[in-house]
Structure 1
Amino acid sequence: MKQSNLEFRLAWGWNDFFEKQLKDSDQIIGRVVGEEKDRWRVQVSATATVWSELPGKYRYQSHSRMDLPSVGDWISCKYEEHQAVALVQKVFARKSCMYRKAVGGGGAAQILASNIDFAFILTSVNADMNIARLERYVSLAWDSGAIPVLCVTKAELSENLEDLLENLRGEFPGIGVHAFSVKEKIGLQNLDPYIAAGKTVVFVGSSGVGKSTLTNHLLGKDVLQTQEIRESDDRGKHTTTARYLFPTDNGAFVIDTPGMRMLSLMDQEDGVDTLFSDLAELENACRFGDCQHRTEPGCAVLSALENGALDENRWNRYQKLKRELQRKQISEDRVKQRQAREKLKKQQKEMYEHIKMKRR
């Protein structure tokens, strides 16, 4: 197992980006395919997986959850045949990483998937359809380095599918928008260009929109439990409770994720700016650089709102996301200021104790 297995790595998405980080050819290299509590399932060859854990020193030196392995990561590990688990030695730098603010995590980040090429943002045609929430997903995807793709599932339930797709393409220009039904076997061929050999796709969306159903279809077997949409409120039941990476028969990889009720941004300014690039350009067209877009003369935003060129709801959603990012930055600054004050107090106390000792 210690021998280099380049053929396996290349088949599983390894490329020059990771090869340049490899310093020891004798390292056991694997890709994280599952995560459960403080253990990670690692694919180390075409047919073998091992459970891995973090050595105490590695965990102690980690500054945040972002330093820990996640599904999709490439890692090096130390493993002997007689050992029950492998020990993680290194997490290779990621070419892309999709994350959000963890629920109840005190502002910590929660990685959704690493080293992904496409982010399928799934939404069903019923009450789950929510433009504001989709904008959050798209912002996370753009910021991650992956390419977002909007997927409308359970298309058989829609009576005006074409109008719905046209509206989505208008809200999200430049992003692939596709509708399909696994149940009725329609529209699935539109996903083929993304589910290609060597590519990794993550499925994100609310509970019950069909992420696990699509995963089972692509794998050709039922590996994940699925639930139907409730007729009472048009919402799906939560099924997937962990993240897993699966290889498909054509050499692609899919990552299924649990449904997310809350989707808070952290520092994804680049993703928001990419999604709303037209609004950023509009702001730059204002006469004054510090324009607040309220009553100022020569405001390009107000002009666009008045003549109907800019949708007021879209502008308000953009402003809401920007305020959320600003609050996050202010909160981080306050934490840094508090830490700096505590450090200064500690230094002053040590200095005082040192002077006291010298006077004795």
Structure 2
Amino acid sequence: MYDLCELGFDNYFQELVKDTPYTIGRVAKSSNGIYLTYSVNGKFYCEVSGRFFHRTEDAHDFPCVGDWVLFDYTTADSKGMIHQVLKRKSVLSRHAAGKKQQEQLMAANIDIVFLVSALNNDFNLRRMERFLTQIYESGASPVFILTKKDLCEDVDEKISAVEEIAMGVPILSVDALHNEGMDQLFPFLKKGQTISLLGSSGVGKSTLINRLLGEEVQKTQSIREDDAKGRHTTTQRELFILPSGGIIIDTPGMRELQLWSSEDAASQTFQDIEELEKQCKFRDCRHSSEPGCAVKKAIETGELSEERYKSFLKLQREAKFLDLKKKYGSQRASRIQADEILKGKW
């Protein structure tokens, strides 16, 4: 038996199901078309109904971990049939592997994303910017969790570097293995609030979850000592209920993240550059040889690093091309891109 409020059911979802003959549940795990679903009547292994399956054309509309669904069930075998996925208030997704224009859902209805990064040789600000862009697109709020502080000799310096790319975002450094600094996370773990973990392989997400749950529910592996790269330990998304009453969703680690976002999300990640662009003498400044360019001046004075500006341009181009593909399809988007490159507009 599960309390819907503890699972994160709030007024937003209550308005969507004022009158329904079905049972309300939240998807805790998904595997091969089977959705482990928690409800006030217990947990059930559900499939989508035939009507749902045949009327749904986009993979985006199928249930994912964190979704609220309406289903019916049979008590005898704890099996159920999902008839509807409630409108999501946030969704974390990325571009699916491969060349096809396809979105891969990672988790839904998240309030806060813990962006986890290790303070070791794998510390990478450019990768953090990519993850941050995806979080802003999801509709959730980001919090940086910097792990493995016991392996770092310049923690304060690295925290300052993250502060420069994530203005106003909370940044916490912890050593989950030795339970140091974990109390900083507790204010975010409120009853009914959903947290998702996002980060590369081997940054310590599984160790974090085990500490927060107070038991070993996720396998952990040490990083490779020669290059500080991590190994994949979490292989699927799963929802856990914390002793505090909060909910946490783990996601498999990623080495690279292909964006599934818009130019607006990229701009939100680089608010400092957006502000500098407003100070340029010319509104259509290309930040190359134009006089009165605030961006170029900031790079020359060291106020803005050239690496961050290059990252901004790369992510902006990537998001722009993605927007074009969504609107026109891959072939026409490629033609538009090529034409703008020739005109010096890309």
Superposition TM-score, scaled by structure 1 size:
0.87
152-161 or 104-113: bigger deviation:
104-113
Structure-to-structure mapping, 1:332-343, within 5 angstroms = 332-335=326-329
- 1:9 maps to 2:4: yes
State the Cα deviation string for residues 175-225 of structure 1 (Å, max 9, x = none): 111111122221111111111211111111111111111111111111111
Query: Paired residue for 1:30, among 14, 25, 31?
Result: 25
Q: CA deviation at 1:337?
A: 8.3
**How many residues are matched?**
332
| Number of the residue aligned with 1:289 | 283
| Number of the residue aligned with 1:54 | 48
Letter in 1 for 2:39: V
Residues 110, 279 of structure 1: CA spacing in aligned structure 2 closer, same or farther, 3 A cutoff? same
Letter in 2 for 1:180: V
Q: CA deviation at 1:11?
A: 2.0
Query: Following the alignment from structure 2 to structure 1, what is the Cα–Cα distance between the partners of residues 58 and 85?
Result: 13
Letter in 2 for 1:64: D
State the Cα deviation string for residues 222-255 of structure 1 (Å, max 9, x = none): 1111111121221222111100000011101111
Query: Following the alignment from structure 2 to structure 1, what is the Cα–Cα distance between the partners of residues 177 and 299?
Result: 42
Query: Paired residue for 1:278, among 264, 272, 275?
Result: 272
Equivalent position SS for 2:127: helix
Query: Conserved in 1, the CA contact under 8 Å of 2:28 and 2:36?
Result: yes
State the Cα deviation string for residues 122-150 of structure 1 (Å, max 9, x = none): 11111221111111111111221111111
Superposition TM-score, scaled by structure 2 size:
0.90
Q: Which runs of 5+ in 2 are unaligned?
A: 333-346
| Number of the residue aligned with 1:254 | 248
Query: Following the alignment from structure 2 to structure 1, what is the Cα–Cα distance between the partners of residues 324 and 241?
Result: 42
Query: Following the alignment from structure 2 to structure 1, what is the Cα–Cα distance between the partners of residues 295 and 228?
Result: 37
Query: Conserved in 1, the CA contact under 8 Å of 2:134 and 2:261?
Result: no
- 1:143 maps to 2:146: no
Query: Paired residue for 2:229, among 223, 235, 238?
Result: 235
**Where do 4+ consecutive residues of structure 1 move more than 4 Å?**
none
Q: CA deviation at 1:297?
A: 2.9
Structure-to-structure mapping, 1:195-234, within 5 angstroms = 195-234=189-228
Query: Conserved in 1, the CA contact under 8 Å of 2:96 and 2:104?
Result: yes
Equivalent position SS for 1:12: coil
Letter in 1 for 2:22: Q
Structure-to-structure mapping, 1:291-306, within 5 angstroms = 291-306=285-300
Q: Which has the larger radius of gyration?
A: 1
Query: Following the alignment from structure 1 to structure 2, what is the Cα–Cα distance between the partners of residues 112 and 293?
Result: 36
Residues 55, 145 of structure 1: CA spacing in aligned structure 2 closer, same or farther, 3 A cutoff? same
Query: Conserved in 2, the CA contact under 8 Å of 1:150 and 1:175?
Result: yes
Query: Following the alignment from structure 2 to structure 1, what is the Cα–Cα distance between the partners of residues 66 and 84?
Result: 14
Query: Following the alignment from structure 1 to structure 2, what is the Cα–Cα distance between the partners of residues 206 and 301?
Result: 31
Equivalent position SS for 1:193: helix
Equivalent position SS for 1:290: coil
| Number of the residue aligned with 2:124 | 130
RMSD: 2.0
Query: Following the alignment from structure 2 to structure 1, what is the Cα–Cα distance between the partners of residues 22 and 324?
Result: 42
Residues 162, 309 of structure 1: CA spacing in aligned structure 2 closer, same or farther, 3 A cutoff? closer
| Number of the residue aligned with 1:100 | 94
Q: CA deviation at 1:336?
A: 8.3
Query: Paired residue for 1:185, among 166, 179, 183?
Result: 179
Query: Following the alignment from structure 1 to structure 2, what is the Cα–Cα distance between the partners of residues 24 and 336?
Result: 42
Query: Following the alignment from structure 1 to structure 2, what is the Cα–Cα distance between the partners of residues 159 and 277?
Result: 30
Letter in 2 for 1:50: F
Query: Conserved in 1, the CA contact under 8 Å of 2:267 and 2:316?
Result: no
Query: Conserved in 1, the CA contact under 8 Å of 2:116 and 2:197?
Result: yes
196-205 or 262-271: bigger deviation:
262-271
Query: Paired residue for 1:169, among 163, 182, 189?
Result: 163
Letter in 2 for 1:122: V
Q: CA deviation at 1:268?
A: 3.2
Query: Following the alignment from structure 1 to structure 2, what is the Cα–Cα distance between the partners of residues 60 and 83?
Result: 25
Q: CA deviation at 1:80?
A: 2.6
Q: CA deviation at 1:64?
A: 2.0
Query: Following the alignment from structure 2 to structure 1, what is the Cα–Cα distance between the partners of residues 212 and 8?
Result: 18
| Number of the residue aligned with 1:357 | none
Identity %: 36
State the Cα deviation string for residues 21-64 of structure 1 (Å, max 9, x = none): 1142432000010011212110012x721111122332232232
Query: Following the alignment from structure 2 to structure 1, what is the Cα–Cα distance between the partners of residues 331 and 152?
Result: 52
Letter in 1 for 2:257: L
